[in-house]
Structure 1
Amino acid sequence: MAIFLKDLRPVYVIGVGWHRYQPLSETPYVALGLQAIRQALADARIAWPDVESSYIGTGRLGTAPGRPMLKHLGDTGRPLVHIENASASGSAAFRHACIEVASGMADVCLAAGVDKPPPAQRAKTGIDSLADDAILPFTHFALLTNEYAQKHGVKPEDIALVAVKNHRNGSLNPNAHRQQKRSLDEVLAGKGVSGTLTTLQCCPVGEGAAAVIIASEYAIKRLGTDAGRAIRIAASAASSERPGPHATVDAVITQATIADALQQTGLKPRNLDVLELHDAFTVEELEYVEAMGICEPGQAIHLLKEGAFDIGGRVAVSPSGGLIAMGHPLGPTGIGQIGEITIQLRGEAGPRQHKAAKIGLAHMVGVGAVCYAHILQKS
């Protein structure tokens, strides 16, 4: 019989931190990660020796990058785990940190993500493909954009409205890669990428870092952390690719994974106040809100136009700016989503605060083959 977080002892996010997501710079990844971790420790009001175990999510930095980063905080002899899971690397690191605290093996864990783009290189799987240079992620999602538009009778410019909303949200976020509002005309006039997709409808892949501190109730009391700012992690769900049409694998595993997370809590999609989604391309936001049951298939565009997904609307979708504006450095992305939801549920999100937010969901997929969903709830 499966055991869920709710069956174990309660776990909470008590600290969050970032280094702004940004274009590639000369800043060493060590400096990026340390800023986020130190900010999270300060936010939790604890010291580095209080952390009993660390999980580092990264997609591009190679073997064991956490060691040269964490040694600047001080050698403590505590366990250190590195996790690579494509776009979901940070989400996977967060999940395993939660499990360690929930199981009682530790009382305080760090989950951090950090990444920098490497020099251009081709992955070598050892398997020949006639389409290595033709079928790339943006090609796949350009085709899905056309399919969605034709299936539901909407225009490609309607789908681009996702980017308008998320650029507007990103303009309010000091940690976002893109911090400029964009009109629909500006989004559509951006450099063409594939099909009807322009650069402003695709996520920027730069560098950055994010970190969260996870703790048990015992640790919160022992360390004197402000329990009123602690946000409970109510559910954690993960899955991988299953049989079905390859073109829709992202939506299929999203539907199953989020349904699992909701079932763990007894919540319904209508109970969610804040969503942070894997919107690497505009059409993904529409597919995922429909897959999770926020609305019926084909209705997301209409709700988007009505402002239902705006900050202050029915449910705030990607108030951080999402991957499209917040950015997608890979390793930090899933952890940054947790940080955004945490400050939303605390009521500390400033100009992008969604009023009376109590329940949030973070969702990430990784190369279409893995999916993670976490539900956070204000106590």
Structure 2
Amino acid sequence: MTRSLNELRPVYVVGIGWHRYQNPSETPYVELGLTAIRSALADARIEWPAVESSYVATALLGMASGRPMLRHLGATGAPLMHVENASASGSTAFRHACIEVASGISDVALAVGVDKRNPVRRSDTGIGHLAEDAVVPFTHFALLTNEYAVRHNASAEDIARVAVKNHHNGAKNPNAQRQQERTLDEVLGGKRVSGSLTALQCTPIGEGAAAVIVASEDGIRRLGIDAGRAIRTTASVGRSERVYPPGAGFDAALTKETADLALAQAKLAPKDIDIIELHDAFTVEELHYIESIGLCPEGHGVRMLKEGALDIGGQCAINPSGGLIAMGHPIGPTGIGQIGEIVMQLRGEAGPRQHGGARTGLAHMVGVGAVCYVHILQK
């Protein structure tokens, strides 16, 4: 008989930290990761030996990259696991850290994501792709953008407003890679990538790190952690793709399945969510995913966007961090950074990005369309 996370013992996020997401640099990944981990330890007000297990999420660094990073904190003998799951690597690491603590195996666990884009390693399966040289990721999403616009009578300007909102949020986030507000004219007038997509509507190439520490109630009491700043994870769901009907958007269909399960697990409806951090590598994705999550009917995302319902202070703040478009998408850290943003919001510590009265947040990531992870956190 399967059991969901909320049927096990409660698990809480007690520490969060980042190394700012940034343009590619000469900074060693070890420095990126250690900065985030030490920040999370300081936020939780605990020392490294209190961490009983570590999950290191990367997508580009190669084999056993966590060992030369964590050894600078001290050799404690605690278990170390490496996680690679494309864009959902950090979300996967967070899920398994939560499961370990919720199951009672550990009282305190670390999930840290770190990545650098250079060098990029590609796997050679020995099987060619018919359209590999013609359809690259941004072309796929440019086609999705056109399809969404035609189906729902939306304009290129309507869809580009997603980027305007997220650049506005990122400008207030000291951890974001892009920290500059952009007008609609600037977004639309930028370098054309594919179709109507411009560079400012796409996630940038970058690097960085994010870390969170999760703990049980026993761990919180034993270590004297401030329970008033602990945020509970009430749902954790991971899914992989199935065979969908012809014409179905597989990312959106997979998102709907995963989000429905997570909301049921937390005993919530979409209207109960105050904050959503989601995978918006391209502007059209945000519209697809808020509709798939159930925040509004299909095709109504643009209306909510134009009404300000998706802004900080609106009905539900979507990507208050700036999302992948402005916060950045270093890959390994991205899902963990989403958790950190939601925790900050639910604590009321987000400063100029604070969404008033936030008590429930949802984090969503997809990985190359093959996997999807959704987490729900509550104050």
Task: Pick the TM interval, shorter chain.
Answer: over 0.9
Cα shift readout 1:144-199 (whole Å, capped 9, x = no counterpart): 00000000001011100000000000000000000000000000011011110000
* Contact 1:205–1:330 (8 Å) recurs in 2: no
For residues 257 and 107 of structure 1, the distance between their equivalents in structure 2, rounded to whole angstroms, comes to: 27
The farther-off stretch of 246-255 and 117-126 is 117-126
The farther-off stretch of 207-216 and 124-133 is 124-133
Amino acid at match of 1:149: A
Amino acid at match of 1:254: T
2:289 aligned with 1:288, yes or no? yes
Q: CA deviation at 1:266?
A: 0.9
Q: CA deviation at 1:125?
A: 2.1
* Contact 1:101–1:107 (8 Å) recurs in 2: yes
Gap runs ≥5 in structure 1 = none
2:345 aligned with 1:350, yes or no? no
* Contact 1:92–1:372 (8 Å) recurs in 2: yes
Aligned match of 1:86:
86
Aligned match of 1:30:
30
For residues 115 and 122 of structure 1, the distance between their equivalents in structure 2, rounded to whole angstroms, comes to: 15
Q: Secondary structure at the match of 1:254?
A: helix
For residues 56 and 130 of structure 1, the distance between their equivalents in structure 2, rounded to whole angstroms, comes to: 34
Aligned match of 1:103:
103
Q: Secondary structure at the match of 2:304?
A: helix
Q: Secondary structure at the match of 1:193?
A: strand
Q: CA deviation at 1:119?
A: 3.2
**1:200-215 to 2 correspondence within 5 Å?**
200-215=200-215
Q: CA deviation at 1:339?
A: 0.1
The farther-off stretch of 78-87 and 243-252 is 243-252
For residues 296 and 376 of structure 1, the distance between their equivalents in structure 2, rounded to whole angstroms, comes to: 24
* Contact 2:60–2:119 (8 Å) recurs in 1: no
2:265 aligned with 1:264, yes or no? yes
* Contact 1:312–1:354 (8 Å) recurs in 2: yes
Aligned match of 1:140:
140
**1:1-379 to 2 correspondence within 5 Å?**
1-119=1-119, 123-244=123-244, 245=246, 248-378=249-379
Cα shift readout 1:240-277 (whole Å, capped 9, x = no counterpart): 01111476110010000000000001100000000000
For residues 182 and 142 of structure 1, the distance between their equivalents in structure 2, rounded to whole angstroms, comes to: 21
Q: Secondary structure at the match of 2:181?
A: coil
Amino acid at match of 1:59: A
Amino acid at match of 2:358: A
Q: CA deviation at 1:118?
A: 2.0
Q: CA deviation at 1:121?
A: 5.8
For residues 131 and 292 of structure 2, the distance between their equivalents in structure 1, rounded to whole angstroms, comes to: 29
* Contact 1:89–1:334 (8 Å) recurs in 2: yes
Amino acid at match of 1:359: T
Q: Secondary structure at the match of 2:364?
A: strand
Amino acid at match of 2:140: H
Amino acid at match of 1:281: F
Identity of aligned residues (%): 69
For residues 120 and 207 of structure 2, the distance between their equivalents in structure 1, rounded to whole angstroms, comes to: 15
For residues 265 and 180 of structure 2, the distance between their equivalents in structure 1, rounded to whole angstroms, comes to: 38
Gap runs ≥5 in structure 2 = none
For residues 282 and 68 of structure 1, the distance between their equivalents in structure 2, rounded to whole angstroms, comes to: 37
Cα shift readout 1:59-115 (whole Å, capped 9, x = no counterpart): 000001000000000000000000000000000000000000000000000000000
Amino acid at match of 1:274: I
Q: CA deviation at 1:128?
A: 1.5
Corresponding residue pairs, total: 378
Cα shift readout 1:203-255 (whole Å, capped 9, x = no counterpart): 01210000000000001001000000000000000100111147611001000
TM-score normalised by L of structure 2: 0.99
For residues 337 and 368 of structure 1, the distance between their equivalents in structure 2, rounded to whole angstroms, comes to: 19
* Contact 1:191–1:198 (8 Å) recurs in 2: yes
Cα shift readout 1:276-312 (whole Å, capped 9, x = no counterpart): 0000000000000001110001101011000000000
Q: Residues 60, 278 of structure 1: CA spacing in aligned structure 2 closer, same or farther, 3 A cutoff?
A: same
Q: CA deviation at 1:130?
A: 3.1
TM-score normalised by L of structure 1: 0.99
Q: CA deviation at 1:135?
A: 1.0
The farther-off stretch of 1-10 and 340-349 is 1-10
Structure 1's consecutive aligned runs of 4 or more residues displaced over 3 angstroms after TM superposition are: 119-123
For residues 165 and 123 of structure 1, the distance between their equivalents in structure 2, rounded to whole angstroms, comes to: 36
Cα shift readout 1:334-360 (whole Å, capped 9, x = no counterpart): 000000000000000000000010000
* Contact 2:60–2:121 (8 Å) recurs in 1: no
Q: CA deviation at 1:122?
A: 5.0
The farther-off stretch of 251-260 and 117-126 is 117-126
Q: Residues 68, 120 of structure 1: CA spacing in aligned structure 2 closer, same or farther, 3 A cutoff?
A: closer
For residues 119 and 233 of structure 2, the distance between their equivalents in structure 1, rounded to whole angstroms, comes to: 37
Q: CA deviation at 1:132?
A: 1.6
For residues 273 and 130 of structure 1, the distance between their equivalents in structure 2, rounded to whole angstroms, comes to: 43
Amino acid at match of 2:92: A
